[in-house]
Amino acid sequence: MFKTIIWASDGSESADRALPTALDLVAEGNAKLVVVHADELLVGRGGRMPSLADEPEVQSKLASKVNELIESGVDATFHLVSGEGKDPAALIADVAYASDADLIVVGTRGHRPIAGMLLGSVTQRLLHVAPCPVLAVPAKTVVPV
């Protein structure tokens, strides 16, 4: 059914919860997994900086995960994307366009409705800008041990 599936991750626990769902779908259709991390850049006097202090650790964690997946037989690639003045959802959507993705799998943070409206959400934004369906895995999903 799906030939190319994107797992978009910010390195968080909620994003990690979405990976087993993405892997089930990859296995079901013998699909390719594209792991995408959007490195949101802040631009100021000092130049370009990632918005999160732990960004190098997140990138390393995801690169290691992709290597593990490849070693286990999954057809996986890692795309680190960044852009000045471009929100993470748009960056992920760009990769989906370029890779002709059939599905984007993401986690949700589980904010209450008011907090979600005030804080915004990459998942919510993806629903509006993605070129393909978006599967949002809820925060209540239990990851098998």
Give yes or no for a contact between 135 and 103, defined as CB atoms under 8 angstroms apart.
yes
Domain-embedded: residue 144 = no
| Rounded Cα–Cα distance for residues 145 and 37 (Å) | 24
Q: Tens of pLDDT along 45-56?
A: 555 555 544 578
Q: Tens of pLDDT along 14-34?
A: 899 999 999 999 999 999 999
The DSSP letter of residue 23 is H
| Rounded Cα–Cα distance for residues 123 and 77 (Å) | 21
Domain count, the chain: 1
Domain-embedded: residue 25 = yes
Domain-embedded: residue 33 = yes
| CATH code for the domain of 101 | 3.40.50.620
Domain-embedded: residue 32 = yes
Give me the residues of the chain with pLDDT under 70, please: 40-54, 110-120, 141-145
Which residue range(s) make up the domain with 59?
A: 6-37+48-109+122-137
pLDDT at 119: 40
Domain-embedded: residue 142 = no
pLDDT at 56: 81
Domain-embedded: residue 116 = no
